[in-house]
């Protein structure tokens, strides 16, 4: 049987929607193209002296890596034709970018973290690009401060030993693997299901002094000896949320980035619109969940483009337990 390419899969799903215009189909296919271009830049970065930082910082005050900007440019270019997208927002840009030609035409807005796990860039570690798609707001095209439930599509491209693309349009989560010799993403798993519970947790414990009592108590609970509840869990923290989340999608478990009062992240590190919302949409479509500890991350309506939240994501069992700790131990 012919391999099912990303384009064929998306087209076949479009046919399941009589009213579909084909624009979302084209848009999703473009993320495949962007993923291939970024994978190539990553593979050649060391040879092309593209490792290392620039002198500039992103809107969150983090030093920008050369590849943060290369990936950002590739994603912006990817939607710069065809009239699909009117506005794009990124972790690397202060304000949304409005595509001049289609300011009033493009039906969609795209939001992305072009290079997630930037601290892994220079050491050949796992990296990812995270994306979220919204229908353009009829009120104001740059109105992006919306609930995660308004996403029409979301996903990520994982750059590891293989390059993978994982996405959802609200009808399950599908996983594709880049076959480099033909340059196509091929369907690997249709309708991925996250296990109800796992054995691994991902958190930067080096920061625990800055955490709340509830966050520390939850992580201590994961480490207690109790085989009956599958504890202790194993630590699996790679420095890339996309890499950690992908493991959890397949094996279960939980990723956590709590608020950290000591390192200037009283609201956590992760940005709502282009990190938390898209992964929470994928998680929920696979049977898992994203949470702030107090509410479902998809229900958060941010007050700023680069707003952050404390973030937990993973199997329902671990996320529910985490919320119980936050509920019972937070003042």
Residues that bind ligand FBP (CB under 6 A): 62, 91, 113, 116-119, 204, 239-241, 269
Give least dist CB 183 to ligand FBP, A: 27
Identify the residue whose tokens are 């807005």.
109
The H-or-E segment that residue 154 falls in is strand 151-159
Q: 204 vs 296, which CB is nearer to ligand FBP? A: 204
Give least dist CB 174 to ligand FBP, A: 22
Tell me the three state secondary structure of residue 128.
Answer: strand
Strand partners, 175: 166, 189
Q: 9 vs 112, which CB is nearer to ligand FBP? A: 112
Give least dist CB 260 to ligand FBP, A: 8
Q: Helix axis angle, 66-78 relative to 23-44, nearest 10°?
A: 150
Q: 30 vs 269, which CB is nearer to ligand FBP? A: 269
Give least dist CB 139 to ligand FBP, A: 29
Give least dist CB 133 to ligand FBP, A: 19
Which DSSP category does 139 fall into? S
Give least dist CB 120 to ligand FBP, A: 8
Q: 276 vs 300, which CB is nearer to ligand FBP? A: 276
Checking 150-154 for CB contacts under 8 A at 24+ apart, the result is 151/277, 151/278, 151/281, 152/24, 152/108, 153/24, 153/27, 153/28, 154/277, 154/278, 154/279, 154/281, 154/282
Establish whether the linkage from the previous residue to 164 is cis, with ω within 30° of 0.
Answer: no
* Residue 150 CA: distances (Å) to CA of 36, 146, 246, 300: 27, 7, 23, 11
């Amino acid at each position: 049987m012919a391999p099912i390419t990303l384009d064929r899969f998306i087209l076949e799903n479009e046919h399941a929607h009589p009213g579909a215009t084909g624009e979302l189909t084209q848009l999703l296919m473009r993320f495949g193209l962007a993923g291939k271009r970024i994978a190539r830049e990553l593979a050649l970065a060391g040879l092309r002296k593209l490792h290392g930082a620039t002198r500039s910082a992103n809107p969150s005050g983090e030093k920008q890596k050369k590849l943060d900007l290369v990936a950002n440019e590739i994603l912006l270019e990817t939607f710069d034709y065809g009239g699909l997208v009117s506005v794009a927002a990124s972790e690397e840009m202060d304000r949304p970018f409005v595509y001049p030609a289609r300011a009033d035409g493009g039906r969609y807005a795209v939001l992305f973290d072009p290079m997630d796990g930037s601290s892994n860039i220079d050491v050949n570690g796992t990296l990812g690009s995270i994306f979220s798609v919204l229908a353009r707001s009829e009120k104001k095209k740059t109105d992006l401060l919306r609930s995660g439930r308004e996403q029409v599509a979301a996903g990520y491209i994982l750059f590891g030993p293989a390059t993978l693309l994982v996405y959802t349009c609200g009808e399950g989560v599908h996983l594709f693997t880049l076959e480099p010799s033909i340059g196509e993403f091929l369907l690997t798993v249709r309708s991925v299901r996250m296990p109800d519970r796992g054995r691994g947790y991902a958190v930067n414990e080096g920061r625990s002094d800055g955490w709340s009592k509830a966050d520390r108590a939850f992580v201590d609970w994961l480490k207690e000896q109790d085989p009956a509840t599958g504890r202790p869990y194993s630590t699996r923290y790679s420095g890339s949320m996309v890499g950690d989340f992908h493991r959890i999608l397949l094996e279960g478990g939980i990723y956590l980035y709590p608020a950290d009062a000591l390192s200037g992240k009283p609201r956590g590190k992760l940005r709502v619109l282009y990190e938390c919302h898209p992964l929470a949409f994928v998680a929920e479509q696979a049977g898992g969940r994203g949470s702030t500890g107090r509410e479902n991350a998809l229900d958060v309506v941010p007050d700023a483009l680069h707003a952050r939240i404390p973030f937990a994501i993973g199997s329902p069992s671990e996320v529910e337990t985490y919320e119980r700790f936050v509920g019972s131990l937070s003042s």
